[in-house]
Amino acid sequence: MLRIGEIIDTVKGIVETKVELVKHEIQEEFIGIVFRILLLTFIILAGLLVILFFSFSLAFYLSQYTNSAYMGFLLVGAIYLILMTLLYYTRYSDTIQKAVEIGLRNFIFKKRKRKDENE
Q: How confident is the model at residue 3 (pLDDT cuts 50, 70, 90)?
A: confident
- Rounded Cα distance between 38 and 106, Å, is 15
The answer to whether residues 76 and 61 touch, using CB atoms and an 8 Å cutoff, is no
SS3 84: helix
Q: What is the mean pLDDT of the chain?
A: 87
- Rounded Cα distance between 108 and 44, Å, is 14
pLDDT of residue 104: 84
The answer to whether residues 76 and 59 touch, using CB atoms and an 8 Å cutoff, is yes
Average pLDDT (57-74) is 94
The answer to whether residues 59 and 72 touch, using CB atoms and an 8 Å cutoff, is yes
Closest Cα to residue 36, out of 110, 119, 112?
Answer: 110
The answer to whether residues 108 and 33 touch, using CB atoms and an 8 Å cutoff, is yes
Closest Cα to residue 55, out of 83, 96, 25?
Answer: 83
What ranges make up the beta strands (E) of 26-77? none
Q: Hey, where are the domains in the chain?
A: 4-110
Report the predicted TM-score, pTM, of the whole model to 2 decimal places: 0.67
